[in-house]
Amino acid sequence: MDESVRHEEEGGRGRFSLEAGGAEAELTYSLADGVMSLNHTFTPPAMRGHGVASRLMRAATAHARANGLKLRPVCSYAVAWMGRHGEEQDLLQKA
């Protein structure tokens, strides 16, 4: 996992975050029954276009893979990112 990305998890909720220049980007999720529901991604305007949200997604997929979890992308960025990264499709929760 990207060492500059922080990860917190408590009570079935978690977040990956990254700070740069006094601003913070985050990806939040809920966790239930072995599935991480990626429900919100935010990157401050000054950090956009530099791959920050992608780094957060890479951290989330690495965490899911290392812990035997499945992913359910909910926010539009997570849905689009997963669609562009075929190598991560095995992590998707099956319907």
pLDDT along the chain (95 residues), means of 10: 86 94 93 97 92 96 97 97 95 88
- What per-residue confidence (pLDDT) applies to 20? 77
- What per-residue confidence (pLDDT) applies to 1? 58
The pLDDT tens digits for 55-73 are: 999 999 999 999 999 999 9
Q: How far apart are CA 49 and CA 54, in angstroms?
A: 10
Give the amino acid at 71.
Answer: L
Crossing angle between the packed helical segments 76-84 and 52-66, to the nearest 10 degrees: 80
Pairing of strands 70-73, 35-42: parallel
Catalogue all structural domains in the chain, each as residue range(s) with its CATH number: 6-85 (3.40.630.30)
